[in-house]
Amino acid sequence: MCMMCSVTYATVGAGLLAFSPSTPGVTTAPSPQTLASQVTSLQRLPSTIAAFKMPTLIEPQWLKDQNAAELAAAQAKKVASTSRVVTYDVMTKGMLTASFADFRTQANATLNDGRGWSRMGVTFQEVQSGGSFTLVLSEASQVTSFSSGCGSEYSCRVGRYVIINQDRWQGATPSWNNAGGSLRDYRHMVVNHETGHWLGHGHASCSGAGQPAQVMQQQSIDLQGCAFNAWPTAGELWSSQLGITR
Amino acid sequence: MMRLPSVSSLRSKKRLLIICGGLGVLLIAGYIVWSQYTWGQFTPTYTAWHQGVKDDIGKIIALPTTNVKEQDAVATRLVELSSKIDAEHQAVCVVTPIVQWQQEVIPAFNDARMACKKQVASIAEFQKRLTTVIAYSKDDQALTKIIASVPQVSELADDTWEKQVVAWDIAIKSTEKRVIADDFKPTQQLALKQMNAVKSAWQEIISAHQAKDKQKYLAAQTTLASAIDGFSEVATTSQRTFAKLSNELEVAVRSVRTP
């Protein structure tokens, strides 16, 4: 029997050697990816959270009302503390076809309108002569006589002279008219704009499509995507000429 | 007086012995051949199984993951692979008991069996890591779905604020109800903390709104912003945990794929 056993072992052993364990090779093609990178793509929480932003809460009406009341109170306080009178005189240049009386009345109304520069706490008072600036209604061709920097097409400001081009006073501009703007609003705008230069402002650009134009933007030429606006915006309520800061 | 067996009786016993001996030799020879075949098949069989697992891993690694659909396909393949290993790995190194004793006396058989067990152990470890990662990603995706179910709108008017409270409340309850993997618990606890903070901030906003209390309203808005910002900590914790688990998986998969 022992002999039989040894035969059995020898035979089986030989069989095993014939089918000896072979080390399998890695047949998978090399890949730049790893399993870790694959499973990482299954994680969704961080990207969902990254897109999670604080929403803008639309101001409820009561808050709008409170804010408006607070702003009005602050402005009233500012007006009360800074109220001052600015004088100006009025003259004409060249041949007039427009009513000078209407010009004076409407210009004064614009300057002292509650939507205008008077929000800085300033009252504009017309005087016979010796005003702080001179408001001029000028024949279009005469505008250039104030400075070569002025053109006959638009209004201008040169030093103390705030010059309103009679053609614009009477007919606004094509772009204004085409957009349906009224002549009265154009007159508000042009008086505010040119007076704004005297107050110390340069030209402004449109702050964003659809936004009301700043009054110091050259709205007669190009709105740059803004909406017509005849009145100084809150950000424009300052004057280096009068020493009024924002 | 003893009776001697007859000559014919002796002849028939001798014949019987020869027949039995012949049958015995045939049985032993058959057993030897069968043993040889069984052990001969042992190594190729488990090697083929191991190679099959490696091929499956290679195919999964090569899959694209550029969009959610493709990522879901990867997840499905991973689950299938895990199930396959789980169902098969314990039987891979098993040898029928009739020949198993031979490993005790033939070192080559013993070596083959030990090598098989070693390979299967590394694959079982890989399967364990894979199961952990799959469980974590399932929890991660479930929580993502819950959070994403809360309407995310860039602008919200006061008539929609109450809906935010309700939506966050539902999200919190849905999250609390889930049975999750241990590895996911820190992430979930943080998420629940932030979800409760957001819900609470919304309630403060509504309360201040109803009282028309500007100071409280503005303070509650700040609280809400802070609670929403706090979710970044959830993301960080989740990323850190998932990176640890996937690195452990990568170590395990390298062990499986190494020759």
Q: What is the 3-state secondary structure (H, E, C) of A122-138?
A: EEEEECCCCCCEEEEEE
Residue A187 has pLDDT above 50, yes or no: yes
Q: Which is nearest to B257 in space by CA: A104, A28, A201, A93? A: A28
Q: How far is CA B120 from the centre of its chain?
A: 15
More confident call, A162 vs A37: A162
Suggest the residue from A23, A26, A34, A35 to mutate for an interface test with chain B (most B CBs closer than 10 A): A35
Establish if A153 belongs to a structural domain: yes
A21 to B209: CB separation less than 8 angstroms, yes or no: no
Mean pLDDT confidence for B129-151: 94
- The position carrying tokens 């199984």 is B49
Residue A24 has pLDDT above 50, yes or no: no
Residue A29 has pLDDT above 90, yes or no: no
B149 contacts: CB under 8 Å, gap ≥ 6: B167, B170, B171, B174
A26 to B205: CB separation less than 8 angstroms, yes or no: no
Q: Which tokens in the block code for residue B148?
A: 């994403």
pLDDT tens, residue by residue, B4-29: 667 777 788 888 999 999 999 999 99
A138 contacts: CB under 8 Å, gap ≥ 6: A92, A93, A94, A146, A163, A164, A165, A166
**B-chain residue closest to A23, CA distance:** B259
Establish if A113 belongs to a structural domain: yes
**How many residues can be counted in chain A?**
246
pLDDT the model gives residue B3: 65
B36 to A17: CB separation less than 8 angstroms, yes or no: no
Establish if A2 belongs to a structural domain: no
Paired residues of A164 in beta bridges:
A137
Q: What is chain B's mean pLDDT, rounded? A: 92
Q: What is the percent of chain B where pLDDT is above 90?
A: 77
Among the ranges given (A29-38, A113-122, A216-225, B71-80), the one the predictor scored with the smallest mean pLDDT? A29-38
CB contact residues (below 8 A), chain A span 59-98, against chain B: 60, 62-63, 66
pLDDT the model gives residue A71: 86
Residue B151 has pLDDT above 80, yes or no: yes
Q: Residue A120 sits in which domain range?
A: 81-236
Residue A11 confidence class, pLDDT cut points 50, 70, 90: very low
pLDDT the model gives residue B134: 95
Residue A222 has pLDDT above 60, yes or no: yes
pLDDT the model gives residue A32: 52
B239 to A26: CB separation less than 8 angstroms, yes or no: no
A35 to B253: CB separation less than 8 angstroms, yes or no: yes
CA torsion sign for A195, A197, A201, A207 is: positive
Q: What is chain A's mean pLDDT, rounded? A: 83
Residue A4 has pLDDT above 50, yes or no: no
Residue A8 has pLDDT above 50, yes or no: no
Among the ranges given (A11-15, A73-77, A233-237, B181-185), the one the predictor scored with the smallest mean pLDDT? A11-15
Question: Taking the CB of residue B29, how many other CB atoms lie within 10 A of it?
Answer: 13
Mean pLDDT confidence for A33-48: 88
pLDDT the model gives residue B1: 54
* Interface predicted TM-score (ipTM) over 0.90: no
pLDDT the model gives residue B79: 95
Mean pLDDT confidence for A23-43: 64
CA distance A19 to chain B (A): 5
Sheet strand arrangement including A133-138: A122-126, A84-93, A133-138, A161-165, A156-158
Boundaries of every domain in chain B: 9-141, 142-257
Mean pLDDT confidence for B155-173: 94
pLDDT the model gives residue B154: 84
pLDDT tens, residue by residue, B200-211: 999 999 999 999
Mean pLDDT confidence for B230-256: 93
Cross-chain CB nearest to A44 (options B54, B141, B246): B141
- The number of distinct structural domains making up chain A is 1
Q: Which tokens in the block code for residue B253?
A: 């998969």
Residue A121 has pLDDT above 80, yes or no: yes
For residue A111, the domain's CATH number is: 3.40.390.10
Please tell me if residue A55 touches chain B, with a CB cutoff of 8 Å: yes
Cross-chain CB nearest to A16 (options B108, B257, B258): B108
Among the ranges given (A27-31, A34-38, A76-80, B89-93), the one the predictor scored with the smallest mean pLDDT? A27-31
Establish if A191 belongs to a structural domain: yes
Mean pLDDT confidence for A66-71: 88
For residue B63, which residues of chain A lie inside 8 Å, CB to CB?
38
Establish if A28 belongs to a structural domain: no
B62 to A31: CB separation less than 8 angstroms, yes or no: yes
Paired residues of A224 in beta bridges:
none
Rounded to 5 degrees, φ, ψ at A93 are -140, 130
Residue B168 confidence class, pLDDT cut points 50, 70, 90: very high
Residue B246 has pLDDT above 70, yes or no: yes
CB contact residues (below 8 A), chain A span 2-41, against chain B: 4, 7-9, 11-29, 31, 33-36, 38-41
A154 contacts: CB under 8 Å, gap ≥ 6: A143, A165, A168, A220, A221
pLDDT the model gives residue A26: 32
Q: Please give the C-alpha separations between residue B59 and each of B98, B116, B250, in angstroms, as whole numbers.
A: 38, 23, 15
Using alpha carbons only, give the angle B119, B120, B126 rounded to the nearest 5 degrees: 95
